[in-house]
Structure 1
Amino acid sequence: MSLSTEVQAVYRALLQHPEWGLADIARSTRLSVDEVRSALDQLTDRSLLHERSESNGGFIPVNPEVALTPALRRLEAELDVRRAHLSRERVALADLAAEYMSLTTGRGSGDIERLTGVESVRVRLTELSQQAESEVRTFVPGGALSPAALAAGRPLDEQNLARGVGIRTVFLESVRNDPATVEYATWLASLGGATRTVPVLPMRMILCDHTAGIVPIDVNDSGQGAFLVRCPSVVAALGELFEMVWERARPLETCVGSGQGDAPTDRERALLRMLCAGLTDEGIARKMGVSLRTVRRHMAALLERLDAQSRFQAGVEAARRGWL
């Protein structure tokens, strides 16, 4: 339907000089003869030119309003049909969305919705992330994610950052030895996101804006699903927890220090806290996202540094030094 600048130039040339031939039009419009011939074909196809039947040939320009109005009316009719279809689709979408919200909200109690199974959590999390307006904050315990999992999350991360939604993620320090996670953190930082690490995390948690949070039903079994929490006071408390952890966490691109002087490292403090809490080596390994062998190696090094013969003695010595 649209006419290029070149085609319009040919039409205007014939309006002023209907007697002109190809060479004249080409010279006036600074187009090649082939370009002029193509423009004449387009004008003829759109009924803007009427070819003379006389022996000398040539073209007669036709009023554009007369020639193009029928085509415009057809386009308007098609648009009216599409608008009507779009309107029906919007109504149907609104009805389905209302029913969806009614049913999903009804499965919970008040401001808490139970999401059964991993897939339900993923679907709901994707919805919340796409609806986020300010920031998505996440705790990721359990060690490094697989390269496939990191790659799968990139499109949504990129989309959110592009529309101004912040992303802050806290991993365990064990991921510093994982090239895929380090590469992901570098990529995220280049787009405006931020990633930090700590020795231990309390649980997996995702906060969307300051209105919704997802926490596991069982911190030791993510397969059971999660709770979607919208209670303002609970979400605020979870947000405070995130900020406290974030403040003492280290940017992933920095190296973990070994401590200075007699001060314990973050890892040593975490080990001591869990030791005093009565956690087994297996429980500590799970919380730190490392192997059981690694926990025992760290524990042996801690006992050696404290010059302790037992874990009880290590706790007493750590308290004496003010490490606890």
Structure 2
Amino acid sequence: MSLRVAAFISLGLTAVVALGVVGTYFWAVRSQSVATLDWLDQQFPRTVATLPPVSAAYGSDPHQVVVVYRPAGMSNPPLVAFIHGGGWRNGSPDDYGFVARAFAQRGYATALVGYRLNGTGRFPAMLEDSAAAVRWLLDHADELGVSTDKLLLSGHSAGAYNAVMLSLDRQWLEREDVPEGTVKGVAGLAGPYDFYPWDSDYSRAAFGAWPNPRQTQPIDFARGDAPPMLLVTGDADETVKPRNSQAIAARQQELGARAEVLVLSGYSHAGTLTHIARPFDRDSREIDAIMAFFDSIAHNTASAAVQPAKR
């Protein structure tokens, strides 16, 4: 075989692989298959390995689980509790390993948090469970080998709602005897924070039976002494409009709290997840901003400047 033919074949195989990756990306985005993103992410090596994940139940419902990842070779890394999305009716922490692997690259352990879904998961079950998971993590931090001294919350979509609501409405963590100030910062990705009247079948199913709708809205619990927030959204998000992030950040800023908004050009609702997974993190705007925000809290570094909320 000539070198020219070999080079042609090699180039062709590279093109096929590239097309396969691109095709998988678009299929995963269209179908919102988080498990596919996780599988694809695992095909690309990272410089920092993670220890085998530890799964544990914090309640009797099969969805009341946490899956904890820790970067190898690190002692007591700071912990991020990441709450999955899925419209409060589907999703599993088992599918979000790519988030934990991305955070491990920057020196953070991650607890992927599950919560009750569907009928048993109607408001306020998702908040009761998220708070119970935080309590469980505090109680088991030593045996997990993680530090909760500067606990950070994060989540995507419905999970971002859970995380932001826990940080604003004190009652949920208080019910679990989580001390005030335990949560040091929140990074919400494409979350709904101001969505009443209900704007989707998902929100109507999860919140529509609650007698006082305003009690479900994070924006109504804005407070100046809340933990710092980074709110990431995409300008192409048609599922949870960017105004959710902009509105609550503006309210927080008016009250004197630290709230930053990052609107990413060209990002859809699913895009705020896909660009955390490899190889799509080559567009590193999102992951760089998230990690700079985490570092500003966990390591007292300067946070990357992001745009102010629209008023």
Greater C-alpha radius of gyration:
1
User: Could you say whether these structures have the same fold, taking a TM-score greater than 0.5 normalized by the shorter chain as the test?
Assistant: no
TM-score (normalizing by structure 1): 0.27
When normalised by structure 2's length, the TM-score is: 0.28
Structure number with higher relative contact order (C-alpha < 8 Å, ≥ 6 residues apart): 2
